[in-house]
Amino acid sequence: MPNKFKFNVTIECQKVINTYANCLKELNENNYDKVCSTYNSSDCKKLVKKNIKSYIECETINQYFGIQELIDNSIVEMGLSCGKTENDEYCPIALYGKSKNDFNVDDSIIYETCKSKSCRKIAIDSFKKYKNLTENSNSNVNNQKSIKIDIVESSLDILNSQECLELISSTKILNIFDIKSIFITLIAFYLFILT
């Protein structure tokens, strides 16, 4: 388990933190798919929605300080790194992060992200959480894959734009046409065989 999840807390609270650490492991080229698979599991998805302070073992403020920020920062990184489309493929922003090892994305990656409703939601949630973390004056979390706040704001503007929503709609229409094309081709092939 990474040292970043070791705290001077009670044994009981550290056990709770360890459950988070199991879902929020460090990503590298060798473990990327495995770590993302774990993070995207239903158990981890349920866990990361809960605040560490909601556990009785970690309810005292002295134990809590800084821990939730670290967890939230890791959730941002994992969301952007491991996000998947409705077809269980990595989101464009995840593919970019996987190949570039940073999140200094340009607008084209964000517009590609708009084409999937799932990816768009993951990106919005992650960027909002990151923005809230950076605006928090107590935030001392330092992340290797840090995101510049101007990129976050620009990305959120694009993701919340009408143009982005239209990309989701046009992608759905294209998918419907693809299905219809396949269906028509199969019928034509079937009719050709019968004649």
Quick: pLDDT tens for 85-129. 999 999 998 887 777 655 567 888 999 999 999 999 999 999 999
Reported confidence tier of residue 7, pLDDT bands at 50, 70, 90: confident
Mean pLDDT in residue range 7-27: 90
Is there a single domain that holds both residue 93 and residue 181? no
* 177 has a pLDDT exceeding 50: no
Helix segments in the chain, DSSP class H: 11-23, 32-39, 42-48, 61-64, 67-82, 92-100, 107-113, 117-135, 149-159, 162-194
* 176 has a pLDDT exceeding 50: no
Give the whole-angstrom CA distance, residue 48 versus residue 135. 21
Is there a single domain that holds both residue 127 and residue 32? yes
Is there a single domain that holds both residue 180 and residue 94? no
Total domain count, the chain: 2
Query: Does the residue 165 lie in any domain?
Result: no
What global pTM score does this model have?
A: 0.76
Query: Is the Cβ–Cβ distance between 68 and 9 less than 8 Å?
Result: no
Is there a single domain that holds both residue 149 and residue 187? no
128-154 residue pLDDT tens = 999 888 887 454 444 444 567 888 899
21 CB-side CA count, 13 A? 14
182 is in which domain, residue-wise?
170-195
Would you list the DSSP string of 126-169? HHHHHHHHHH-TT-----TT---HHHHHHHHHHHTSHHHHHHHH
Is there a single domain that holds both residue 183 and residue 137? no
Is there a single domain that holds both residue 121 and residue 179? no
Query: Does the residue 46 lie in any domain?
Result: yes
Query: Does the residue 84 lie in any domain?
Result: yes
Is there a single domain that holds both residue 99 and residue 185? no
- The pLDDT score that the predictor gives to residue 59 is 79
- The pLDDT score that the predictor gives to residue 146 is 54
Is there a single domain that holds both residue 50 and residue 114? yes
Query: Does the residue 28 lie in any domain?
Result: yes
